[in-house]
Chain A
């Protein structure tokens, strides 16, 4: 193996990529930072309430979804944790919220990063949002079904147990 050649190729390829990204990433992050400081997130949170209504989540979680979508999972999670103490939110709703954000977060930054490598940005974004909606909906449907079935079974067991108890 020619280590010198490997090192040279590594430096060349990495430098080309990183240099290209400096131009793109820094302006994007400055813009996101401006959005954060101008209070734009609170305004756009009103629009994301459509998503929370669609998934039957409490309205307070709209800000968490907005921050998660535009900034990233860590910040979104932080906002949700704050919200958790104020709003009445069940474990299933929390799961729903995190599945949506886990599938679809930091969409601006990540899409642009991948576009610089040569992916079709529109396909990337559209696919991600569709998948987030589809799989969150699937989770809700399966969860409701399983829970209803469990309730039904319990009921069934109760009726079946009475004669057994009588026998004992």
Chain B
């Protein structure tokens, strides 16, 4: 039954999510900005660019995918200051929505009684497949 309590609880949970979001977004934006201003970002980007080109991302994409393994919100934080195109953002988001916070979620899955390694492996494979498929399907840059 929907009562007043439902709405109160919903708003409370919403605020909790926003707080959680800020906890991850602010540090990741900060980290990316520091990397950018120190010139390290360019070097990492140049190093990763050939590998990332298979999934249609610039070299910085590797960092977003890495930040996504801490938390999905971390990836969002890393994505904003980099200025990607719509296609790149879609690929990035799709990959991260499939394979994010892998350590934490594997722990949940293992606790639920399934094989954690198998689960994490399949999620990783699915993310890579997503990147390659979407890169060929979505038109544009």
Contacts and interface: CB of A to CB of B under 8 A. Distances in A.
Interface of A: 1-2, 5-7, 9-10, 13-14, 17-18, 21-22, 25-34, 36-39, 73-74, 77, 80-81, 84, 91, 94-95, 97-99, 102-103, 110-111, 113-114, 117-120, 123-124, 127-128, 131-132, 134-135, 139
State the main secondary structure of chain B at its contact with A: helix
Contact of A139 (B18, B76, B122): B122
Contacts of B141: none
Interface of B: 1-3, 6-7, 9-11, 13-15, 17-18, 21-22, 25-26, 29-30, 33-34, 37-38, 72, 76-77, 79-81, 86, 89-90, 92-94, 96-98, 105, 108-109, 111-115, 118-119, 122-123, 125-126, 129-130, 133-134, 138
A10 B17 contact: no
B91 to A, nearest CB: 9
A6 B34 contact: yes
A95 B80 CA distance: 35
Given A94-B112, A119-B92, A124-B93, 9 more contacts: A10-B26, A17-B76, A33-B7, A77-B112, A99-B114, A103-B123, A120-B86, A127-B94, A128-B94
Nearest to A1: B37
Contacts, number: 171
B88 to A, nearest CB: 9
> Which 5 pairs of residues, A with B, have the shortest CB-CB distance?
A26-B14, A30-B10, A33-B10, A98-B114, A114-B93
B111 A114 contact: no
A29 to B, nearest CB: 4
Given A1-B37, A14-B26, A119-B90, A99 B119 contact: yes
